[in-house]
């Protein structure tokens, strides 16, 4: 049976439809907003996946080119592997939904969200989050709460709900908020130095609309929703929890507060082994899966209690303390810029490479074609956490963390007319114990400055945590990986001295108040300023000269009607310039000419040639010309490439000239002065007026 619900939101109507498409899925919803539409489906495996200690949830967001009436480019005319953008949206859907399933649920769940129509005005990612929630909501899959999501922008002083692509480009805030009917569970986005107050107000506004979206979702669930599958509660053998606690408590209290991560892990593992042996002797091998859970809960209890009651963290820091920071620049001689940023046991090497226009990243998706001249790539090798693991292409986490760091720095990158380079920044995580993405923001900024990139402002980032129990809470600055895992919030905030440029928040509990959020943002601001202060002690301004190994780039602006002159028939002229000088030349539609080369001399030679090509002949100016043609009445002389004028026989010399060939022949170089340019554009030249003044009277 076909059903739909609607909600007027922003400048359009949000429509959820079900019962018509993909009816064999456990749950299927078509979400529409103006001309954009996303099909979201949810399916579940018949049997439980054995041997897993995590929820086997897979979420994939895909965009079909036909949605925009396009055919994929390249040789293969079909969609290929997911683009970074699709992976990022998949993560946006996954993060708010994953915590909302029963802890012990092990059936495989697959959610597919597919953009099947786009008006190229309204972003489909928000539709995908809402559609994924409702497809699970109307299915028999045991999602415990529905999720709603909105985007918030700021144009001027006005907050915009679900802004269009153009409004996002124009505005200074791009905020995505997802939540349940009880609380916000995810915040993600970027900004152009917004204040903490502006960001908080955006979240508060979003919360109101999220509740409205969930209400209409609930209405459809009430009409067509299937009964949820019952998840059997696993019962722990009687007395087991007490026995494990008695055996482990004192040993765990000691091991949990060893300052160094690897030593702490080794101590906890050694303690766990002793406890497992003792419990296995008492209860048998079959209880061991329960023991692991009890020990993890015990570790969380000890650390959380210490933070709340004593203000003491696992590594001995206070709640607002930042770990020791060390910075080194220019580590490698052949790179264009490099920085090593170490904060406690988290370490990032950032390396900057400067390229030319030809190095820009070109992309083609359903929103259209474009280029990127700044890229930040993040790598997280297994050795960074002392493990053995698979190495290959970047995983979803690496793409997500790299995008967050890129979003933080991008607003501070110089305009192309100020710095005409393509910039690739790579963050190699060489050690990790909490917030390597924010370390990448810091190392990236330092590396860019060491490469001579004129950033508008330096950018730093910090991750905040939270422990919340029965109304009592503690906000943590610069969280460890352990505090991320056992805590209730991971809130990453990056920005300059003037404001926030990027943020990402995941909340594991409901009921975080506006007061807690305000306090967390203020604590993050203080931490960010502290880190920026330490960074500026090492480097505050970009170095004055670029690396000798960086390409040399010159730019000039010509009138658009001169572009054809530079390119020439069939590209003949521009190819000639490249061959003669060895420089690369790129001409854009607006008349911007970019010249790049390994040497300044080659670049300057090409620049001079282009200037001559596009220069207009000026009356009264003396030129070094070349004789192109001889006639009885004078000589035609080229004064600029492709621009010839007539030097009449009477203007060849002060004395009488009987024949032009007595003075000039084809190919001669000769100085001439432009006497006039007539109404028809004809150029009249004089050789005798170009003589030095003292020679004119000889």
- Contacts of range 282-290, beta carbons closer than 8 Å, 24 or more positions apart: 282/243, 283/237, 283/240, 283/243, 287/237, 287/240, 289/53, 290/234, 290/236, 290/237, 290/240
pLDDT higher at 692 or 412: 412
CA–CA distances in Å: residue 551 to residues 223, 298, 581, 594: 64, 57, 15, 12
**CA–CA separation, 112 and 429 (whole Å):** 31
Residue 344: pLDDT band by 50, 70, 90 thresholds? Answer: very high
Q: Give the pLDDT score at 676.
A: 92
CATH superfamily of 622-695: Nucleic acid-binding proteins (2.40.50.140)
Residue 514: pLDDT band by 50, 70, 90 thresholds? Answer: confident
CATH code for residues 325-538: 3.30.230.70
pLDDT higher at 489 or 613: 489
Q: Give the pLDDT score at 555.
A: 87
What DSSP line would sit under 451-518, residue for residue? HT---SS--EEEEEEEEEETTEEEEEES--HHHHHHSSEEEEEEE-SS-EEEEEEEESSS---HHHHH
**CA–CA separation, 586 and 567 (whole Å):** 10
Q: Give the pLDDT score at 109.
A: 96
List the single range of 27-31, 226-230, 333-337, 597-601 with lowest mean pLDDT: 597-601
Q: Give the pLDDT score at 275.
A: 87
Residue 508: pLDDT band by 50, 70, 90 thresholds? Answer: confident
Nearest to 531 by CA among 662, 683, 376, 348: 348
Q: And the tokens for 659?
A: 């024949």
Length of the chain: 698
Q: Give the pLDDT score at 696.
A: 55
Q: Give the pLDDT score at 49.
A: 85
Residue 697 pLDDT > 60, yes or no? Answer: no
Q: Give the pLDDT score at 48.
A: 86
Q: Give the pLDDT score at 694.
A: 55
pLDDT digit string, tens, across residues 448-500: 999 999 999 999 999 999 999 988 999 999 999 999 999 999 999 999 999 99
Question: pTM higher than 0.95, yes or no?
Answer: no
Q: Give the pLDDT score at 407.
A: 97
Structural fold of domain 240-310: Arc Repressor Mutant, subunit A (1.10.10)
Mean of the pLDDT values across residues 149-154?
Answer: 97
- Contacts of range 382-387, beta carbons closer than 8 Å, 24 or more positions apart: 383/430, 384/347, 384/429, 384/430, 384/431, 384/432, 384/436, 385/432, 385/433, 386/262
Mean of the pLDDT values across residues 213-230?
Answer: 95
pLDDT digit string, tens, across residues 296-308: 989 999 999 999 9
For 614-635, give one letter per residue: b (16+ CB within 10 A) or e. bbebeeeebbebebeebeeebb
pLDDT digit string, tens, across residues 47-65: 888 878 789 999 999 999 9
What DSSP line would sit under 11-53, residue for residue? TEEEEEEESSS-TTSSEEEEEEETTEEEEEEEEEEEEEPTT-S
The maximal CA–CA distance of the chain, rounded, in angstroms, is 125
Query: What is the pLDDT of the chain when averaged over all its residues?
Result: 92
For domain 552-614, which CATH number applies: 3.20.20.20, 3.30.1370.10, 1.10.760.10, 3.30.565.10?
3.30.1370.10
Q: Give the pLDDT score at 611.
A: 85
Helix, strand, or coil (residue 539)? coil
List the single range of 337-341, 373-377, 459-463, 545-549 with lowest mean pLDDT: 545-549
Of the CA atoms within 13 Å of residue 322, those in its CB half-sphere come to 23
The listed range with the strongest mean pLDDT (440-454, 506-520, 538-552) is 440-454
Nearest to 611 by CA among 586, 638, 641, 582: 641
Contact (Cβ atoms closer than 8 angstroms) between residue 155 and residue 170 = yes
**CA–CA separation, 539 and 541 (whole Å):** 6
Domain spans of the chain, in order of start: 3-224, 240-310, 325-538, 552-614, 622-695
Residue 695: pLDDT band by 50, 70, 90 thresholds? Answer: low
Strand 184-194 relative to strand 173-179, pairing: antiparallel
**CA–CA separation, 655 and 26 (whole Å):** 101
Mean of the pLDDT values across residues 665-687?
Answer: 91
Judge whether 3-224 and 552-614 match in fold: no
Helix (H) or strand (E) holding 551: none
**CA–CA separation, 103 and 257 (whole Å):** 27
Residue 510 pLDDT > 80, yes or no? Answer: no
Q: Give the pLDDT score at 238.
A: 82
Residue 598 pLDDT > 90, yes or no? Answer: no
List the single range of 155-169, 181-195, 336-350, 506-520 with lowest mean pLDDT: 506-520
pLDDT digit string, tens, across residues 16-25: 999 999 999 9
Domain 3-224 has CATH 3.30.230.70: yes
């Amino acid at each position: 049976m076909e059903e739909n619900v609607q909600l007027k939101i922003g400048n359009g109507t949000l429509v959820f439809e079900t019962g018509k498409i993909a009816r064999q899925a456990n749950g299927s919803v078509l979400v529409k907003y103006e001309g954009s539409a996303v099909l979201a489906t949810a399916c579940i495996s018949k049997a439980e996946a054995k041997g897993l200690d995590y929820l086997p949830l897979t979420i994939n967001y895909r965009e079909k080119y036909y949605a925009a009436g396009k055919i994929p480019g390249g040789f293969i005319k079909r969609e290929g592997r997911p683009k970074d953008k699709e992976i990022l949206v998949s993560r946006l859907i996954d993060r708010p939904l994953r915590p909302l399933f029963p802890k012990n649920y092990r059936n495989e769940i697959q959610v597919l969200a597919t953009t099947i129509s786009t008006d190229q005005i309204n972003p489909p990612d928000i539709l995908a989050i809402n559609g994924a929630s409702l497809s699970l909501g109307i299915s028999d899959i045991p999602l415990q709460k529905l999720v709603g999501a909105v985007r918030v922008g700021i144009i001027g002083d006005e907050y915009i709900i679900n802004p269009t692509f153009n409004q996002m480009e124009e505005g200074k805030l791009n905020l995505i908020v997802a939540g349940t009917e009880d609380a916000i569970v995810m915040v993600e986005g970027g900004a152009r130095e917004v204040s903490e107050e502006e960001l908080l107000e955006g979240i508060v506004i979003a919360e109101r609309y999220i509740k409205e979206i969930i209400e209409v979702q609930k209405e459809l669930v009430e009409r067509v929703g299937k009964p949820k599958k019952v998840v059997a509660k696993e019962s722990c053998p009687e007395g087991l929890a007490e026995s494990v606690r008695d055996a482990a408590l004192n040993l765990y209290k000691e091991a949990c507060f060893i300052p160094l991560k690897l030593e702490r892990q080794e101590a906890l593992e050694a303690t766990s082994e002793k406890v497992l042996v003792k419990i296995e002797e008492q209860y048998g091998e079959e209880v061991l899966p329960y023991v692991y859970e009890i020990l993890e809960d015990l570790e969380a209890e000890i650390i959380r209690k210490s933070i709340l009651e004593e203000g003491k963290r696992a590594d001995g820091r206070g709640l607002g303390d930042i770990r020791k920071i060390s910075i080194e620049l220019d580590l490698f001689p052949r790179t264009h810029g490099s920085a090593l940023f170490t904060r406690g046991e988290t370490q990032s090497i950032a390396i900057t490479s400067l390229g030319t226009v030809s190095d820009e990243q070109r992309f083609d998706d359903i929103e259209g074609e474009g280029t990127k001249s700044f890229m930040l790539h993040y790598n997280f090798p297994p050795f960074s956490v002392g493990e053995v693991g698979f190495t290959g292409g970047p995983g979803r986490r690496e793409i997500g963390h790299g995008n967050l760091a890129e979003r933080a720095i991008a607003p501070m990158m110089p305009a192309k007319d100020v710095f005409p380079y393509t910039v690739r920044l790579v963050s190699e995580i060489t050690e990790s114990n909490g917030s390597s993405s924010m370390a990448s923001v810091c190392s990236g900024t330092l590396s860019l400055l060491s490469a001579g990139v004129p950033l508008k402002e330096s950018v730093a980032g910090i991750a905040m945590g939270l422990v919340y129990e029965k109304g009592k809470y503690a906000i943590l600055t610069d969280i460890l990986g352990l505090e991320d895992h056992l805590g209730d919030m991971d809130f990453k905030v990056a920005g300059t001295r003037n404001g926030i440029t990027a943020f990402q928040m995941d909340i594991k509990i409901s009921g975080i108040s506006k007061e807690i959020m305000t306090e967390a943002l203020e604590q993050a601001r203080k931490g960010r300023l502290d880190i920026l202060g330490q960074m500026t002690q090492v480097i505050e301004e970009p170095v004055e000269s670029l690396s000798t190994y960086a390409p040399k780039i010159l730019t000039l602006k010509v009138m658009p009607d001169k572009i054809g002159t530079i390119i020439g028939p069939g590209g003949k002229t521009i190819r000639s310039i490249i061959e003669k000088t060895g420089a690369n030349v790129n001409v854009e539609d607006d008349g911007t000419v970019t010249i790049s080369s390994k040497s300044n001399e080659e670049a300057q030679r090409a620049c001079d040639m282009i200037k001559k090509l596009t220069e207009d002949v000026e009356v009264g100016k003396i030129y070094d010309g070349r004789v192109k043609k001889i006639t009885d009445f004078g000589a035609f002389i080229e004064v600029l490439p492709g621009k010839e004028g007539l030097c009449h026989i009477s203007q060849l010399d002060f004395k009488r000239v009987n024949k032009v060939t007595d003075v000039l022949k084809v190919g001669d170089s000769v100085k001439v002065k432009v006497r006039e340019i007539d109404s028809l554009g004809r150029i009249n030249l004089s050789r005798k007026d170009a003589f030095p003044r003292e020679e004119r009277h000889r």
